[in-house]
Amino acid sequence: MWIAEFARRAGVKQTTIRHYLREGLLSPRTGLAGGSRPYLEFTESDLRLVSAIQAGQALGLSLQEIRVLIGERRSGSGQARMLKALTSQRDKLRSRALELQAMLSFLDRKIEWLEAGAKGPPPPHATTPGVKR
């Protein structure tokens, strides 16, 4: 399939596909369509790869990190690296979740204080683990 159909099926814009190509995340076959101008031929495997790239981005991995993982996966040596990267990202997300929970708790207390007429001292600021004020 060509880039327009591929982008549509992947649920992304063609510019996103072109960006992934420039970043070295996708490696479709190159063919000739009735002339000398090369075109990119995407496969179902490329669709699964776009899905994996998007999942990695949703987890907070950079495109550079994703590129490294794809390269190692293709070489057959990526399982240990992927495990390390995903474990590290999980730890970062857990830490961020604790920070967000502390902020939500502060906001809840501040809203309750304002709804009660802002009487008395305001609630103390959020304290997030690992963040010094």
Q: For 1-15, 29-43, 64-78, 97-111, which range has the lowest pLDDT when averaged over its residues?
A: 29-43
Question: Please, which pLDDT band fits residue 17 given cuts at 50, 70 and 90?
Answer: very high
pLDDT of residue 133: 45
Task: Give tens-digit pLDDT for 48-86.
Answer: 999 999 999 998 899 998 998 888 887 777 678 888 888
Any bridge partners for residue 41, and if so which?
A: 29
pLDDT of residue 127: 66
Task: Give tens-digit pLDDT for 25-38.
Answer: 998 988 766 556 66
Per-domain residue ranges for the chain? 3-76
Average pLDDT over residues 98-118: 94
Average pLDDT over residues 74-101: 87
Percent of the chain scored above 70 by pLDDT? 88
- Two tokens, residue 10: 């992947």
Supply the DSSP string of 69-123, one letter for each residue.
Answer: HHHHHHHT-HHHHHHHHHHHHHHHHHHHHHHHHHHHHHHHHHHHHHHTTS-SSPP
Average pLDDT over residues 7-18: 95
| Class of the CATH domain delimited by 3-76 | mainly alpha
